[in-house]
Amino acid sequence: MILKAYTVGSLAVRAYLIGCPDTGEAMIIDPAGSEKMLAEEIDKAGLTLSYIVNTHGHPDHTCGNRKMKDLTGAPVLMHELDDRIFREPAAVQIFRSWGFEPAPPADRHVGAGDMIKIGNLEFDVIHTPGHSPGSVCIYGMGYIVTGDTLFVGAVGRTDLPEGSYDILMQSLKEYIVPLPDSTIVLPGHDYGASPQSTIGHEKKYNPYLNNL
């Protein structure tokens, strides 16, 4: 598996390029800035972008969708709830006050039980609401891209519109904690002591997971 991580955008989002070395197919997760550089990186790696995937609909993670799609022609995948909620007028107004324009509609909705296939690689979509109603994690090949659901040593904030701490804790308990301890966690921001972690480390040291 080809895996590259980039810090992009005004809020330092972690974007992940994942590619299949056998077929050259790839997906990019949360390309929220430096889209031209990311497109060049994809070309440099000899990859063809099959999908643009969003872990959730907040604008710091979706603001690069339009340009990335223009540059690569790849469709945008997002959970239906966030795709709908965060394009409503009230949400658009809030996001514009933060300096973000709304993202275009997703081309395809993905949710619990869906699989994203990249060449010979398969990744499960895990619906983990709480940070937002349509937050998802992308799990496969011993890795999980957690967006703003889980950080190194912390979890995503729940005081934004449609967020819920209780729902987030339930998502972590049901869907994240049971994963193998060796699973490598790739978070949506580098807020912790290191850019990545493991489920086992987070279960032991993350105060939000200690008692789940």
pLDDT at 89: 81
Q: Are 189 and 5 in contact (CB under 8 A)?
A: no
Kindly state whether residue 212 falls inside one of the protein's structural domains.
Answer: no
pLDDT at 90: 79
Kindly state whether residue 210 falls inside one of the protein's structural domains.
Answer: no
- Which is it for strands 150-151 and 13-19: parallel, antiparallel or unpaired? unpaired
Kindly state whether residue 66 falls inside one of the protein's structural domains.
Answer: yes
Q: How far apart are CA 199 and CA 60, in angstroms?
A: 25
Could you read off the pLDDT of 75-86 as tens digits, one per residue? 999 999 999 988
Could you read off the pLDDT of 23-64 as tens digits, one per residue? 999 999 999 989 999 999 999 999 999 999 999 999 999 999
CATH number where 6 lies: 3.60.15.10
DSSP state at residue 86? T
pLDDT at 85: 86
Q: How far apart are CA 91 and CA 59, in angstroms?
A: 10
Q: DSSP E strands: which ranges in the chain?
A: 2-8, 13-19, 25-29, 48-53, 76-78, 108-109, 115-118, 121-127, 136-140, 143-147, 150-151, 154-155, 184-187, 197-198
**Residues spanned by the domain of 55:** 2-205
Task: Give the containing element (helix H, strand E) for 206.
Answer: none
- CA dihedral sign of residues 47, 50, 55, 58: positive
Q: How far apart are CA 166 and CA 43, in angstroms?
A: 42
Kindly state whether residue 145 falls inside one of the protein's structural domains.
Answer: yes
Would you give the end-to-end CA distance of the chain in angstroms? 32
Kindly state whether residue 211 falls inside one of the protein's structural domains.
Answer: no
To the nearest whole percent, how much of the chain has pLDDT over 70? 100
The number of folded domains in the chain is: 1
The pTM is what? 0.95
Kindly state whether residue 155 falls inside one of the protein's structural domains.
Answer: yes
Could you read off the pLDDT of 155-183 as tens digits, one per residue? 999 998 899 999 999 999 999 999 999 99
Kindly state whether residue 97 falls inside one of the protein's structural domains.
Answer: yes
Residue scoring higher pLDDT (92 or 198): 198
* Residue given tokens 């979509």 in the structure block: 125
Name 68's Cβ contacts closer than 8 Å, sequence gap at least 6. Answer: 28, 31, 35, 38, 39, 52, 74
- Which is it for strands 184-187 and 143-147: parallel, antiparallel or unpaired? parallel
Strand partners, 6: 15
Kindly state whether residue 165 falls inside one of the protein's structural domains.
Answer: yes
